[in-house]
Structure 1
Amino acid sequence: FRSRFVIEPLEPGFGYTLGNSLRRTLLSSIPGAAVTSIRIDGVLHEFTTVPGVKEDVTDLILNIKQLVVSSEHDEPVVMYLRKQGPGLVTAADIAPPAGVEVHNPDLVLATLNGKGKLEMELTVERGRGYVSAVQNKQVGQEIGRIPVDSIYSPVLKVTYKVEATRVEQRTDFDKLIVDVETKQA
């Protein structure tokens, strides 16, 4: 989703100051939810394949990173996905617990052939900004649990521009135009 905000008039120079501060805050400080780790039956690490699934585990993780979720829980929660082939596995096949919502159910996660079977646990947590898979790895984590890069921020892109605007006879005031693109949550 996209929105445009216009703030005017601002004292000369305030447009850039306010625009840059808003951009940095919107991109880094708004809390959200994301998948932090997965566990797939029969898979020990991300550099392998799942029998009967067209995509390898790395491609599956890339698709999962596009999942848009929201959570009311402060603690990590687990969602389950169980599907047998043939056919597409979409985000709509995920069974979220109460208080967790999947906002892009049409997202294709994998393709199963006739004998394909995919059983997966997805751990969802709340946070801010971006956290790499290395940072999501926990000490003493069970074998087979694969950490995933987490993009918590619901804001995808923020741009701003400053134009001159007029107030009565003065033409040196700033007009701040902020464009914000968010996830579909």
Structure 2
Amino acid sequence: MEKMQKIANDKNWKALIKPSKVDVKTHDSKSIATITAEPLEKGYGLTIGNSLRRIMLSSIRGSAVTAIQIDGVLHEFSSIKGVREDVTDIVLNVKSLALKSHSEGPKKLILDASGPGEIKANKILENPDIEILNPDFTICNLDEGTKFHMELTVNSGKGYVPANLNKVEDPPLGLIAI
């Protein structure tokens, strides 16, 4: 009986198509790479791809904005006079910022701008601990004579953290957790 089981196991593993070529191709962007492994058994590509994606999302460290505070704004469902986007759109734009932190712990970034014009991530005042990887990303658009001040809190960690876990006890008025 043991001999038959060993033969069955040997046959299963020896007949399995194993990748003979694994290639990693990096792109101009620092955040994109193409990984090719071939050939694979039918259906294994999707299984391995999803597993790698889940492992990477839960294991790779990163930095993101976890809270913002905009002058004159009490909650994320507000609108700001002279700003074309409402606060909800600004929050979504801020969530798309690509950041790299060079140290541990929460960091503050400040965005001071005045209109008219498009306000891009490169208008955020420099902080030696935080690198903005997409400086040409548009945060909002201001009309003539509009002043805009926003404080951003950046934290580092690994895995996805929902906004309700980023809330602090007794937050200052107008602090919006992301």
When normalised by structure 2's length, the TM-score is 0.74
d(CA) in 1 for partners of 2:99, 2:80:
25
Q: CA deviation at 1:24?
A: 2.3
Q: CA deviation at 1:96?
A: 3.2
Contact 1:53 1:117 in 2 (8 A): no
d(CA) in 1 for partners of 2:118, 2:138:
7
d(CA) in 2 for partners of 1:19, 1:53:
42
Q: Say yes or no: does 1:22 pair with 2:57.
A: no
Could you say which residue in structure 2 is the equivalent of 1:142? 172
Q: 1:43 aligns to what SS in structure 2?
A: coil
Could you say which residue in structure 2 is the equivalent of 1:55? 85
Bigger relative CO (Cα 8 Å, ≥ 6 apart): 1
Structure 2: runs of 5+ lacking an equivalent = 1-28
d(CA) in 2 for partners of 1:15, 1:110:
40
Q: CA deviation at 1:16?
A: 7.8
Q: Say yes or no: does 1:67 pair with 2:130.
A: no
Contact 1:43 1:50 in 2 (8 A): yes
Bigger proportion of residues as helix = 2
Q: 1:50 aligns to what SS in structure 2?
A: coil
Question: Which has the larger displacement, 20-29 or 63-72?
Answer: 20-29
Show CA shifts across 1:91-114 (max 9, x none): 010013112110111111111111
When normalised by structure 1's length, the TM-score is 0.71
Alpha carbon RMSD of aligned pairs, Å?
2.2
Contact 1:78 1:96 in 2 (8 A): no
Q: Say yes or no: does 1:111 pair with 2:141.
A: yes
Contact 1:37 1:122 in 2 (8 A): yes
Could you say which residue in structure 1 is the equivalent of 2:25? none
Structure with larger Rg:
2
